[in-house]
Chain A
Amino acid sequence: MFDHRIYEQIERYLAGTLPAEEKAAFEALLLSDPRLADQVQEHRQVLQAMQHYGQRQQLRHKLNSIHTEMETGSRAITSELTAWKVFFKKHAQTMAVAASVSLLSVFGTLWSVQQMKKPVQQQTARYIELRREVEKIKKEQRAIINGIASVDTPAPAPRSARFSGTGFAISPDGYIVTSSHVIQGADSILIENKAGLKYKVTEVHRNTDYDLTILKVEDPSFAGFGKLPYTFKTASSDLGERVYTLGFPREDIVFGEGSLSSASGFEGDTTSYQISIPLNPGNSGGPLLDEKGNVIGVINGKQAGQEGAAFAVKSSYLLQMVSEMKEREGNLTFSLPQQNNLSGNSRTQQLKKLQDYIFVVKVYN
């Protein structure tokens, strides 16, 4: 009798329905009586376990009924989908590797084909074409000038050329020759000589085999260059002959001298000479003259890592190209210079007469 009353009290205590003063009394009793405390603890556990158990049973029951309800309905269409997913999960890595390998091989092939198509560009590894990237040098120079004395800032210059090379007149009618690689990718081309004469020119004929291009002055007010002081040599020049050139490796005209060191050019190229003149980017397209003032070639490039090995296309190929052009264009007012005014003059005299016919070729793109 007594026991179940205690139980009732415990239950009411656990349920929190005990009145305040009874609760206080009960709690005091709990503190003083560890056996009772144990009892309460046990009681609580059993009750909780039982209640959880009941809830769980109910939940199980619910789930079971859901399950049977589901099974009577249509059976998963999704299993096909998950099968595919498993397959994908299993092989994803392999597939990724395969995909990257195939991508790599595709682009590798494309790249190598590109490389094979451009033997000339491959050559540049050792063969340097002497066209000059202007902007870079200009910037460097400006930096140097500013460093020396901080001059007040110059007015913003008109857009400067992207590349430059050298060119020279081959006919008084406004024809200029230069190297093809100088004007490669050009939008517009301007020429300018030491005297400050400026003309806009366009390309009229190109021969990439010889790396030569003929340009023509477009200016309507152009009246001709006047009589050219030099002629073109048709025969081959001899080994050891003293030669010189004029060009624009920088803003001003530069003279360079040396001798003809070989009758063939880069890797036995018979269309050019090897010469021993120190050359720099920007010299490309300049004339190569001998002692008597005959043009014997057109400066073209040099060999990397080799001292004093520069190359110039032989003048006979230039002449061949001129006749090619005449043939193609039909009626053309084009007259090659016939008389040489330079032979017998001293070198300095020769240069003075020459320099008006040498142009810097400025390429914009």
Chain B
Amino acid sequence: MRKSLYETDEAIMEGIRNDDDRALAYLYKLHFPMISHFIISNSGTDDEAKDIYQEGVIVFYEKIKGNSLELSCQIKTYLYSVCRRLWLKRLAEKGRYANRIEDSENYLSLEEDVPQHEENERQFGVMAEALDQLGEPCRSLLEDFYIRAQGMQDIVEKFGYTNTDTAKNQKYKCLQRLKKLFFTSYKPEV
């Protein structure tokens, strides 16, 4: 029944734009076998397939969210192209060069999309590391405030601060440390 709901690529994209998780789930399930087959028949494992595919979907998802996607082909082809490229890179990093890639689909070269994604990935890696090094309770405090967008009052109660000012001060200190950690290892390539 969902099938009829997201029959066309446009419908899927519209669904993702409207934060419809079912559209995403449908898209995810629809194309996974294709990528999985591609990765496995080119010397990959199930886990790697999952990894690569998720990255591919993320690229696609963020493109749509950022409204920067000019899709000149089917979603299927786009995903295949992105994943193909990611997988080739992964193979190169592992020191294994694929001499002959067995393709089951046509693909595009996608000169821009993938490097952009890699840059983002690098940033996230640094951020994750910085947050890890930050330690508790700073990490939770910052995540609660900035990511989950909880109110100051809730945070005061949750962490047992005497008033909002202390909490704010604490948050400031945490952020200061995070900034230091983040910028020591991350230099934007601009």
Contact = CB atoms under 8 A, between A and B. Distances in A.
Nearest to A6: B172
Contacts, number: 100
A53 interface: yes
Contacts of B128: 53
Contacts of B29: 66, 70
A232 B48 CA distance: 100
Given A4-B172, A76-B36, A50 B105 contact: no
Interface residues of B, number: 44
B58 A82 contact: no
Contacts of A70: 28-29, 32
A78 B41 CA distance: 14
Nearest to A83: B37
Given A7-B175, A85-B105, A63 B58 contact: yes
Contacts of B41: 83, 86
B103 A86 contact: yes
Contact of A67 (B21, B38, B54): B54
How would you classify the secondary structure of chain A's contact residues: helix, strand, loop or mixed? helix
Interface string B33-56: 110111001000000001000100
Given A46-B175, A63-B54, A53 B127 contact: yes
A344 B146 CA distance: 132
Given A43-B179, A63-B57, A67-B50, A52 B28 contact: no
Interface stretch (A54-62, A270-278, A315-323): A54-62
Contact of B37 (A63, A82, A89): A82
Nearest to B125: A53
Interface in A20-68: 42-43, 45-47, 49-54, 56, 59-60, 62-64, 66-67
Contacts of A159: none
B124 A53 contact: yes
Contact of B28 (A47, A63, A79): A63
Rank and list the top 3 A-B pairs by shortest CB-CB distance, nearest first: A54-B147, A4-B172, A76-B33
Interface of B: 21, 24-25, 28-29, 32-34, 36-38, 41, 50, 54, 57-58, 61, 102-105, 120, 123-124, 126-128, 131, 142-143, 146-148, 168-169, 171-172, 175, 178-179, 182-183, 186, 188
16 contacts: A4-B168, A7-B175, A52-B127, A53-B127, A54-B143, A54-B148, A56-B58, A56-B124, A60-B58, A67-B28, A70-B28, A78-B33, A78-B34, A86-B41, A86-B104, A89-B102
